[in-house]
Amino acid sequence: MMHTALQYEQKFGAHNYAPLPVVLTRGEGVYVWDDKGNRYIDMMSAYSAVSHGHCHPELIETLTSQAHQLAVTSRAFYTDKLGPFLEKACQLTGQARALPMNTGAEAVETALKAARKWAYTIKKVAPNRAHIIACENNFHGRTITIVGMSSEAQYRDGFGPFPAGFSLIPYGDAAALRAAITPDTAAFIVEPIQGEGGIIVPPAGWLRECAAICREQNVLLIADEIQTGLGRTGKLLACEHDGVVPDALLLGKALGGGLLPVSLFLSRDDVMNVFTPGDHGSTFGGNPLAAHVASKALDILVRDKLSARAAELGEYFQHALCAIRSPLVTEVRGKGLMIGLVINPRYYAAREICLRLMSVGVLAKETHGTILRLTPPLIITREQIDTVVAAITQVLTEAAANVVHIQG
């Protein structure tokens, strides 16, 4: 019997995702193609990992030439590619030092370890007392420690027990942060805009207030910009919207140019210097192939002004989405090209809207059942946005007509 790729994945894979029923075989720029030759505009861009667009020719050239030269060495030796990459990342972000990892979750784990060790060695918190504050509705990854600080029942259920030393405050609540800080508090970890949590934008000025509270209380502000960073929200870093330079910064996703997993934990000297040889590491972290591709990804981001592009086109896109005025949409929100379209759950699950969009050539994925995530590659054009808006308008109009029909 013939099996399709979809059936193989269903039969031999773990069911930890619920993909839309489409089998992708090729990508170029904002477009992907399925196994039947249908073309789609990718409004998902791999959870913002493909900000440069699929198979960016210059990044492919960088990848392949470096792969022929030297790919993986481990950190047991220096390479000619890592140092220049770290320097570039530090200069761009205003941080002193950077520690390379691969996935976002590893960068988060690195930050938590650094914050704890900093608390013991520099802040002089008593042994095993260090405490870290996170926000309700956060998403920082999927390791046991990280889901241990999640408020999302499904991320946690069945995976305990979890490490101690974490507490949660409501997102957007500065008074709650102040109240949660104790003399043992090492750090406050926060997403400038909550991505997986549903594209939640906090009140303007909140992050600035958090930064002031942290500075005053000698608590590290760790900005998790794995999704919001590198131009996504219309600034290189979303912290810039509030004029904040965090004590520590996490980058990932788009840092790999849509080709490789590359993440960074960046911080001040006194924080990074708590690490001594043997304290922490990663076999693949900082390998010359990843470092060279990520370095080129940063160059392209700056050269092609992708942050400014996200700001301009994001505003255009949000404006056009607001103008649709469908009874199925309760809210359009976001910043830059990180946009959430909230579907009224009385009528449709957002997944149903995603399936309908797929049938008209637009790939998007819902989050939290009601929110359509619209995070296209930052290279998307105004004309392509117009195409997407027309497709969304058509789908919402048809879907709304169905609801009236059913209720009538």
Q: Which residues participate in catalysis according to the annotation?
A: 139, 224, 253
Note the maximum CA span of the chain.
71
Q: Which two tokens stand for residue 337?
A: 């090209």
Q: DSSP string spanning 322-375?
A: HTT--TTEEEEEEETTEEEEEE-TTT--HHHHHHHHHHTTEE-EEETTTEEEE-
CB 233 → ligand PLP: shortest distance, Å? 12
Residue range at the interface with ligand PLP (CB under 6 A); choices 7-15, 37-45, 101-109, 267-275? 101-109
**Which one of residues 196, 214, 337, 370 is an interface residue with ligand PLP (CB under 6 A)?**
196
Q: Which residue lies nearest ligand PLP, judged by its C-beta?
A: 104
Which amino acid, residue 96?
A: A
Classify residue 71 as exposed, middle or buried by CB count within 10 Å of its CB (0-12, 13-18, 19+): middle
**Which one of residues 47, 188, 347, 348 is an interface residue with ligand PLP (CB under 6 A)?**
47
Q: Which is nearer to ligand PLP, 139 or 348 (CB)?
A: 139
CB 103 → ligand PLP: shortest distance, Å? 4
Could you say whether residue 108 binds ligand PLP (CB under 6 A)? Answer: yes
CB 319 → ligand PLP: shortest distance, Å? 25
CB 373 → ligand PLP: shortest distance, Å? 11
**Which one of residues 105, 193, 222, 332 is an interface residue with ligand PLP (CB under 6 A)?**
105
CB 200 → ligand PLP: shortest distance, Å? 12
Neighbours of 112 (CB within 10 A): 26
Q: What angle do CA 30, 35, 37 make, to 5 degrees?
A: 65
- Cα distance between residue 118 and residue 123, in whole Å: 7
Could you say whether residue 197 binds ligand PLP (CB under 6 A)? Answer: no
Could you say whether residue 227 binds ligand PLP (CB under 6 A)? Answer: yes
Q: Which residue has the tokens 């894979």?
A: 13
Q: Which is nearer to ligand PLP, 335 or 356 (CB)?
A: 335
**Which one of residues 191, 254, 296, 347 is an interface residue with ligand PLP (CB under 6 A)?**
191
298 phi, psi to nearest 5 deg: -65, -40
Report the SS3 class of residue 264: strand
Judged by the rule CB under 6 A, the positions of this chain that interact with ligand PLP are: 47, 103-105, 108, 139-141, 191, 195-196, 224, 226-227, 252-253
